Structure 1
Amino acid sequence: MKFKTPEATQAFLTRSILITGCSSGIGLCVAQGLKQAGYRVFATARQSKDVENLKTQGFESYQLDLASSASIKAAMHAIFEQTESLYGLIHNGAYGQVGALEDISREALEEQFQTNVFGWHELTNLVLPKMKRQNAGRIIYLSSVLGFVAMPFRGPYNASKFAIEGLVNTLRLELAHTKVQLSLIQPGPIESDFRLNAYKAFSKHIDKQNSDYRVNYEKMIVRLQSKDLADFTLPAEAVLKCCVHALSAKHAKIHYLVTFPTKLFAFLIRILPTWLMDKILYKAGGGGGR
């Protein structure tokens, strides 16, 4: 697939990009698309078998588990042995812990933040010094519509994405004197293995038989195990297009809204009172069944 990149030059297309969470879905699509466009792509994944699969596709690939500081540091050491600097960092690796907050243990919440927040923060801090020295770079964060609105039974994931948006908004101000640009991509439903991984996390941490939300969980499990796409689901290429623009445009956007639900909720949250927005979000959540 070819993309028109605004104000793109050959200089952009020879630059190195690091992407996390490339085993499947959005991460794999973005890695393939950027490699095809001419970028040098370092594609990382949590499991060694996925790293080997990426290597067979021609990627420079390294194992990187965002929940492990040692894994992050080892991957970055290996990557910086191959390139003096990175032009782009795309934070994608994440998962969604679902369940009612009453049923979420401290351990489950910590695990969610280790991968979705703390790992991203540590990785950013390892890359930033080189970007600041070259006074150039793009850092792209795959947030979510759930980074600015909350929905029931998605509390840990909601909280992790709200946290990322807070960190990015702060870091953008602190880097205002540099030419390092930060972008938040906020997708709604995208074709991926997200529901499969969410079900694994749910099964690991939630005792559904002893929960007040047993009925809700029955509907939730049906949704998580279903192969039917949610309404307004877009292919991962929709995110790839945003990444291409954020990397190559002279002035990247701060926010990229992807899918109709994201655009709708971004509009509604600006015009509706909180009590009415809560009713809409409660209904949209379908008791965990949507």
Structure 2
Amino acid sequence: MAKTVLITGASSGIGKSTAIYLAQCGYNVYGAARRIEKMEELKTYGIITLPIDVTKDESMKACVEQIFEEAGRIDILINNAGFGLYGSIEDVSMEEAKYQLEVNVFGAMRLTQLVLAKMRENRYGKIVNISSIAGKVVMPFGGWYHASKFAIEALSDAMRVEVKQFGIDVIVIEPGGIKSEWGDIAAESLMRTSGKTAYGKLAAAFKKIFTLMAENDPEPIVIAKLIKKAIEAAHPKTRYVGGYMAKPVLLLRKILSDKMLDKLMLKQALKK
């Protein structure tokens, strides 16, 4: 019997690629996103598309209840919905900061709460949380985004031990650079928020890093294949890493002091 998968943020990037890839591999896939009109292509792969807004409880409940009614279960939840809010800590409004955490953290955890009872009943489940190397290494102007990914890492570690007794695995995916809308949205957010403030010159310098990444980022299928490997492993690792510069950056985080890493990032950003 095909496993049933729910993946959020399925309208683009990693979410879209993973939904298509898993459907091609025989999974029963439900793709969910706010932008339902951007998921038309998914239907050609036999993927069932559903609207979801991970900041609204009633929307998440309706999505999960429909899948339970139609498929009877959700075997694998892939919490992929999210975005990158960039700007200096001083410039980002509290309203925007709260929305960043609402989408990237509270939405993912609430959706997880909604599927766990059925997974416990079935004595089987995979919770896949899409974090980032940004959950381990912090870049200036990304404080609120990094905070959301650090939170996902911590919550995943706690939950992994809590639910293991019920046959449920919690898996963290840590992408580096990947071709998607993410980089453009983050760069636009950075310049809109801090481009004309006291931080403008430094913000413009760090924007170059997004440009550099975009030139080298691999297609999101790299992460889709990583997710498939993780959910099919008899004993999955707690974390899987992939994408542009992911492993080198995490290695630097381990071997360099905080101030050395700060200096390296500034040097990279301020290069002519």
> Counterparts of 1:199 and 1:229 in 2: how far apart (Å)?
11
Task: Say if 2:11 and 2:36, in contact at 8 Å, map to a contact too.
Answer: no
Per-residue CA deviations over 1:26-55 (Å, capped at 9, x if unaligned) read 111100100000000001111231244533
The letter of the residue matching 2:220 is A
Mapped pair 1:116 → 2:100 = no
1:160 is matched with which residue?
148
1:34 is matched with which residue?
22
Task: Say if 1:138 and 1:246, in contact at 8 Å, map to a contact too.
Answer: no
The letter of the residue matching 1:213 is Y
Mapped pair 1:44 → 2:28 = no
Task: Say if 2:67 and 2:73, in contact at 8 Å, map to a contact too.
Answer: no
TM value normalised by structure 2: 0.91
Task: Say if 2:87 and 2:191, in contact at 8 Å, map to a contact too.
Answer: no
Query: Which of 190, 193, 201 matches 2:181?
Result: 193
2:68 is matched with which residue?
80
Mapped pair 1:104 → 2:92 = yes
Query: Map of 1:49-60 to 2, 5 A cutoff?
Result: 49-60=37-48
Task: Say if 1:242 and 1:256, in contact at 8 Å, map to a contact too.
Answer: yes
2:130 is matched with which residue?
142
Task: Say if 1:19 and 1:91, in contact at 8 Å, map to a contact too.
Answer: yes
Query: Which of 182, 188, 198 matches 1:212?
Result: 198
Task: Say if 1:51 and 1:63, in contact at 8 Å, map to a contact too.
Answer: no
Unaligned runs of 5+ in 2: none
Query: Map of 1:171-186 to 2, 5 A cutoff?
Result: 171-186=159-174
Runs of 4+ deviating beyond 6 Å:
none
> Counterparts of 1:144 and 1:207 in 2: how far apart (Å)?
23
Task: Say if 1:150 and 1:281, in contact at 8 Å, map to a contact too.
Answer: no
Task: Say if 2:175 and 2:243, in contact at 8 Å, map to a contact too.
Answer: yes
Task: Say if 1:22 and 1:28, in contact at 8 Å, map to a contact too.
Answer: yes
Deviation at 1:183, TM superposition (A): 0.8
Q: Percent identity?
A: 34
Unaligned runs of 5+ in 1: 1-10
CA RMSD of aligned residues (A): 2.2
Deviation at 1:275, TM superposition (A): 2.4
Mapped pair 1:273 → 2:261 = no
